[in-house]
Structure 1
Amino acid sequence: MADEWGSQDGNTGAHPDEDPHSYCLGSSVSADLEENIDAAAWNALDPTQVNVNYSSTCQLTGAGETDVVWTQGNIASGALAWTDCDDYESDPPTNQCDQNYVRVDLATVNQGVDDEIDQTITTCHEFGHTAGLSHGSTQDDCMENVSTSNPPNALKWRRYSAHHIDDHINPWF
């Protein structure tokens, strides 16, 4: 059974608007986090039909705005990261997100035994939200919430399962 698509309800990502799925890095993103965002884009989205494009400049407005803007900084709630649709297409209502902002709190993420794996799992998870995937999966992939104090090392936790690729991401794009 397929998971529910994200609905922009605060817990899930909204439907993405188009292919390619472009991303950029805000000035707050450290070189360490940048490597893991790139790894997540390659590990998780590369085996899908999505064309994932890195843009060295964030275009924040207009028809060609960047789909995912990555930032880094403190999140007061103690969460590892969050994804928020900044431009939800409601007029006319397409139920699509034209631009997501993702914020990663490295101080919270880097509390375990293997920070690089923690960062890659976290960025894969947030990329999933930007592609419309939701929480609560039982697919043994990066969309499950896993402990960062002792992260699982298996590669499957840094990728999307066949279920998410075949039943969600590829049909959407």
Structure 2
Amino acid sequence: MVLAAIMGGSALTASADPWGNQTGDTGAHPDEDPHGYCYSPTVSADLKSGINEAMWDAMDPTQVNVNYDGDCKLSGGGETDVVWRQGNLAEGVSGKAPCEDYDNDRCDQYYLTLDLGQINKGSHDEIDQAQTACHELGHSGGLTHGGSSTDCMINSGSTPPTGIQFRRYGKHHTQHLNDWF
């Protein structure tokens, strides 16, 4: 009631994020729990640190079971859900999360690619790595960009915010992950 009065009398309603699809990196519905991940040989030790922070800190408050697969299973039954890669992306693109194996309206495998050259442009490299990894990981869990998002799913452009909430999932996205998994 107080919020409605502050907002000029309009009521706010929570809306579900739409599912993405296999044609982009907007969060196609993941297959099932657990959400396994691995590192391709291209991922440097420096980048693994940012990814690990995102994997554990961002997913911790959710009900998603995140498992490390020592060997990346790239095809067949039981393939790894998330394959982390490091690579060179287009100018201004720090990460991509395309669904590589879309079947029966679900994504069986995402290739999450991060570009350290694009990410490490400012003075907060570790923060920027964790924020970008959290963002791309969210896509692999089915999350889309939150237009007014105050968490890591914000579409922040070239200068991501440094606040800790931008390296985590907020209540809205945490609830989606909990519902989906």
Q: Normalising by structure 2, what TM-score?
A: 0.87
> Whole-Å Cα distance in 1 between the matches of residues 147 and 63 of structure 2?
21
Q: Which amino acid aligns with 1:55?
A: D
The alignment yields a C-alpha RMSD, in angstroms, of: 1.4
> Whole-Å Cα distance in 2 between the matches of residues 115 and 77 of structure 1?
17
Residue 17 of structure 1 is matched in structure 2 by 31
Query: 1:1-173 residue pairs with structure 2 within 5 A?
Result: 1-89=15-103, 94-149=104-159, 151-166=160-175, 168-173=176-181
SS of equivalent to 1:7: coil
Shift of 1:76: 2.7
Shift of 1:8: 2.9
Q: Which amino acid aligns with 2:31?
A: D
Could you tell me whether the CA contact under 8 Å between 1:11 and 1:135 is conserved in 2? no
Equivalent pairs counted in the alignment come to: 167
Shift of 1:138: 1.6
Q: Which amino acid aligns with 1:27?
A: P
SS of equivalent to 2:96: strand
> Whole-Å Cα distance in 1 between the matches of residues 20 and 59 of structure 2?
17
Could you tell me whether the CA contact under 8 Å between 2:25 and 2:97 is conserved in 1? no
Q: Normalising by structure 1, what TM-score?
A: 0.91
Q: Which amino acid aligns with 1:54?
A: Y
Unpaired runs of 5+ residues, structure 2, are 1-14
Shift of 1:7: 2.5
> Whole-Å Cα distance in 1 between the matches of residues 44 and 35 of structure 2?
22
Shift of 1:77: 4.5
> Whole-Å Cα distance in 2 between the matches of residues 24 and 112 of structure 1?
27
Unpaired runs of 5+ residues, structure 1, are none
> Whole-Å Cα distance in 1 between the matches of residues 73 and 150 of structure 2?
34
> Whole-Å Cα distance in 2 between the matches of residues 161 and 58 of structure 1?
29
> Whole-Å Cα distance in 2 between the matches of residues 102 and 119 of structure 1?
13
Q: Larger Cα Rg: Structure 1 or Structure 2?
A: 2
Could you tell me whether the CA contact under 8 Å between 2:25 and 2:139 is conserved in 1? no
Query: Which consecutive aligned stretches of 4+ in structure 1 deviate over 3 angstroms post-superposition?
Result: none
Q: Which amino acid aligns with 1:121?
A: Q
Residues 89-120 of structure 1: per-residue CA shift (max 9 Å, x gap): 0xxxx310000001111001100110000000
